[in-house]
Amino acid sequence: MKIEGKKLIWKEYQKEIATDDYFYARSCIRQNFFPGSEKAFTRILKDELGKNLYDSQHHTSCTGIGYHTDVVPFETTMTVVARQFSLMQEAGYSNYIASCITSFGLYTEIIETWKHFPETLEKTREYLFKATGREFSIPNNLAHASDIIYKFRNEIAAKAKFRLVDKETGCPLKVVEHIGCHYSKMFPHKGVGGAEFPYVLTGMIEAWGGEVVDYPERRHCCGFGFRQYAIQANRGFSISCSRKKFESMAPYEPDMIITNCPGCPMFLDRWQYALSEMEGQTYGKNGNGIPVFTYEEVAGLVLGYDPWDLGLQVHQVPAEPLLDKIGIPYNPENKFKGANGEDLGQPDAPNFLKFYKE
Counting contacts by CB under 8 A, is residue 71 touching other proteins?
no
Q: Which of 257, 225, 260 is nearest to 239 (CA)?
A: 225
The binder of other proteins chosen from 233, 340, 341, 342 (CB under 8 A) = 233
Shorter beta-carbon distance to other proteins: residue 40 or 175: 175
3-state DSSP assignment of residue 200: helix
The binder of other proteins chosen from 2, 50, 92, 286 (CB under 8 A) = 2
Counting contacts by CB under 8 A, is residue 252 touching other proteins?
yes
21 close to 93: Cβ distance less than 8 angstroms: yes
Report the Cα 254 to chain-centroid distance in Å.
19
Counting contacts by CB under 8 A, is residue 244 touching other proteins?
yes
The binder of other proteins chosen from 214, 306, 309, 324 (CB under 8 A) = 214
Give the integer Cα–Cα distance in Å for 149 and 204.
Answer: 8
The binder of other proteins chosen from 143, 156, 268, 275 (CB under 8 A) = 275
In the complex, minimum distance from the CB of residue 116 to other proteins, in angstroms, rounded to a whole number: 18
DSSP state of 165: B
The binder of other proteins chosen from 35, 73, 251, 327 (CB under 8 A) = 251
Q: CA 321, 324, 325, 326: dihedral to nearest 10 degrees?
A: 130
Report the Cα 322 to chain-centroid distance in Å.
19
With contacts defined by CB under 8 A, name the span among 64-72, 162-170, 276-284, 325-333 that binds other proteins.
276-284
Instruction: List the beta bridge partners of residue 19.
Output: none
Give the integer Cα–Cα distance in Å for 313 and 311.
Answer: 5
262 close to 256: Cβ distance less than 8 angstroms: no
Counting contacts by CB under 8 A, is residue 217 touching other proteins?
yes
In degrees, to the nearest 5, what angle opens at C-alpha 100 toward C-alphas 163 and 135?
Answer: 135
With contacts defined by CB under 8 A, name the span among 85-93, 120-128, 156-164, 231-239 that binds other proteins.
231-239
In the complex, minimum distance from the CB of residue 216 to other proteins, in angstroms, rounded to a whole number: 4
Counting contacts by CB under 8 A, is residue 348 touching other proteins?
no
Measured over the CA atoms of residue 231, residue 222, residue 203 and residue 105, the dihedral's sign is negative
Counting contacts by CB under 8 A, is residue 279 touching other proteins?
yes
Residues in binding contact with other proteins, number by CB under 8 A: 36
In the complex, minimum distance from the CB of residue 277 to other proteins, in angstroms, rounded to a whole number: 4
Counting contacts by CB under 8 A, is residue 232 touching other proteins?
yes
x/- map, 143-182, other proteins, by CB under 8 A: ----------------------------------------
Counting contacts by CB under 8 A, is residue 116 touching other proteins?
no
The binder of other proteins chosen from 201, 274, 310, 319 (CB under 8 A) = 274
DSSP state of 153: H
Sequential DSSP letters for 85-139: HHHHHHTT--EEEESSHHHHHHHHHHHHHHHH-HHHHHHHHHHHHHHHS------
> CA separation (Å) from 196 to 32, 285, 338?
30, 29, 41
Counting contacts by CB under 8 A, is residue 347 touching other proteins?
no
Measured over the CA atoms of residue 15, residue 20, residue 25 and residue 27, the dihedral's sign is positive
Shorter beta-carbon distance to other proteins: residue 114 or 283: 283
The binder of other proteins chosen from 39, 235, 325, 337 (CB under 8 A) = 235
Counting contacts by CB under 8 A, is residue 334 touching other proteins?
no
The binder of other proteins chosen from 18, 49, 65, 239 (CB under 8 A) = 239
The binder of other proteins chosen from 243, 245, 335, 354 (CB under 8 A) = 243
Instruction: List the beta bridge partners of residue 175.
Output: 212, 256
The binder of other proteins chosen from 19, 132, 331, 351 (CB under 8 A) = 351
Q: Which helix (H) or strand (E) holds 24?
A: strand 22-25
Counting contacts by CB under 8 A, is residue 236 touching other proteins?
yes
- Binding positions for other proteins, rule: CB under 8 A: 1-2, 4-6, 8-9, 194-197, 214-219, 232-237, 239-240, 243-244, 251-252, 274-275, 277-280, 351
